[in-house]
Each structure stands twice: as C-alpha cells, then as structure tokens.
C-alpha cells in the first residue's frame, strides 16, 4: 500500500497563469462596477433559451461598452444576440475577459463579463456575455427583443 501525499505541486504554463490573472482582474473590476452601478429592474422579462445563439443587426438604442479599468468605451457592433455580439473591431487593449455594459431602451444598463470567443485577421471578434444571474439574462433578453420588435414596427 502506498502513501499518496495531498501536497503535490505543479506549475501552470506562463500563458495559462496570465490568462487566469486577467480573468481574476476582470471579475474584481466587474464586481466593483456592479456595486457602483446597481441595476434598476423596471419589469420582469420573459425569454427563451433558444435565442441565446441567434444574432440580429444591432437595433437603434442598443449599445455595448467595455471598461478598460479607467472608463467605459463604446464598441462598434456588427450584430448582437442575447448571449453575445460580433464586433466590427476589437480594441487592442482587450486581451481577455472585460466588464461590459449592455444598454437598451427601457433599461439603465446590465453589467456582464464579456469574453473573447474568436477573432479574425481583420480585427473583427465575437464576444460571449456572462451574466450575474438568470434574472439579468432574462431582463437583457426582453429589452433586446423589444428593441428588435420596435425597429420592425417602424419599418
């Protein structure tokens, strides 16, 4: 019978350690921003899970901003969905997960963690949104769909 020790140590590769540190820093900043900017919940939203992966041209009044640690910067969206967005150009300072603020008519802003899912040679990128809880995801879903319906009602 052999004795296995629970004191096994291993080293993470430098790039993995750096990515984990960036994620920790982004999560800490996101929590601080959530404390400074509480979400006003005007109504309960109804949504469905199948919409998470669809994207539509970004409707008027819907915006995405990312926080660089000092201030909010608007991001130019090609199209947007409940679970993420396709950006026209990923800012060079975005190297990993960043706090982001989603705005739409009828809501003050929902703070999420935006993580890079892919990027191409032309600078376009896809970001995935990580919500604080299901209630915020549903609120965003309802606001985005309301904005999409309003755009089509005007057409």
Read off the pLDDT of residues 60-116 as tens digits, 9 standing for 90 and up. 999 999 999 999 999 999 999 999 999 999 999 999 999 999 999 989 899 999 999
Q: Count CB neighbours of 109 within 10 A.
A: 17
More confident residue, 7 or 50: 7
In terms of Cα–Cα distance, which of 74, 75, 83, 91 is closest to 56?
83
C-alpha angle 37-40-45 in degrees, rounded to nearest 5: 130
Total domain count for the chain? 1
- Does 87 fall in a domain? yes
- Does 1 fall in a domain? no
- Does 3 fall in a domain? no
Look at residue 32 in the predicted model and tell me its pLDDT.
86
- DSSP secondary structure, 58-74, as one string: PPTT-EEEEE-SSSEEE
Q: Which tokens sit at 117?
A: 């899912």
> Does pLDDT of 5 surpass 60?
no
CATH number for the domain harbouring residue 149: 2.40.10.220
Domain that holds residue 122: 14-154
- Does 85 fall in a domain? yes
Look at residue 155 in the predicted model and tell me its pLDDT.
56
Counting DSSP H helices and E strands in the chain, the numbers are 2, 8
């Amino acid at each position: 019978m052999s004795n296995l020790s629970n004191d096994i140590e291993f080293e993470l590769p430098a790039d993995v350690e750096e990515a984990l540190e960036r994620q920790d820093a982004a999560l800490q900043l996101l929590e601080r921003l959530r404390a400074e900017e509480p979400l006003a919940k005007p109504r309960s939203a109804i949504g469905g899970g199948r919409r998470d992966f669809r994207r539509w041209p970004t409707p008027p009044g819907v915006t995405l901003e990312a926080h660089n640690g000092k201030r909010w910067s608007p991001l130019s969206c090609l199209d947007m969905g409940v679970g993420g967005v396709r950006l026209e150009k990923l800012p060079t300072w975005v190297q990993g997960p960043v706090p982001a603020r989603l705005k739409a008519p009828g809501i003050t802003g929902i703070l999420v963690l935006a993580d890079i899912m892919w990027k191409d040679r032309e600078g376009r990128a896809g970001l995935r949104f990580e919500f604080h809880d299901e209630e915020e995801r549903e609120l965003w879903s309802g606001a985005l769909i309301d904005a999409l319906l309003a755009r089509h009602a005007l057409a």
